[in-house]
Homo-oligomer: A and B are copies of this chain.
Amino acid sequence: MNKLSHFDENGQAIMVDVSNKPLTARTAIAEGRIYVNQEIFAAIEKGTSKKGDILGTARLAGIMAAKKTSEIIPLCHPIFISKISISFKLESKTCSVYTSAETKTTGQTGIEMEALHAVTAVLLTIYDMCKAIDHTMKISDIRLIHKTGGKSGTYNIGDK
């Protein structure tokens, strides 16, 4: 049994055939986090409320990156995306920025990679904008937390 669907029976990479799959509504939510030092945390907090809008820039980076997922991930199908939204939580206790991305499509393949790609672009953009202060930031805990649609159906992290 071949569970790695991105390879054919000879172990060669393919973009898998989804031509016989029905069009179904699909959603995905991914999350991730960047740990920063206190000076950066303060700058992000301040920037968000007043000026130097780091998170606003990162949000757009995430939305635009989701649209480029199939250019970055070699075996991803190009798909129509019907929604992308990005959320943030500033967590002072852990000195980190939490982000999540929600994506939707109606299609023959899932929309998980678009949500995950949006999250990484958001976090890399925060890194880029803050690295003049300090390089020790760490991007972590990127994972899928929810999906619906497709043959494998609904998934919620913690279900298993």
Contact = CB atoms under 8 A, between A and B. Distances in A.
A146 to B, nearest CB: 10
Contact of A137 (B4, B105, B143): B143
Interface residues of A, number: 90
Judged by DSSP, the binding face of A is mixed
When all copies of this chain in the complex are counted, the total is: 6
Given A13-B60, A63-B14, A141-B140, A73 B4 contact: no
B78 A77 contact: no
Contacts of A117: 124
Interface of A: 3-8, 10-19, 25, 32, 39, 43, 47, 50-54, 56-57, 59-61, 63-68, 70-87, 104-108, 112-113, 116-117, 120-121, 123-125, 127-133, 135-144, 147, 155, 157, 160
Given A8-B85, A15-B81, A61-B73, 11 more contacts: A4-B43, A11-B53, A63-B75, A72-B124, A73-B121, A75-B128, A77-B81, A117-B124, A135-B144, A139-B142, A140-B140
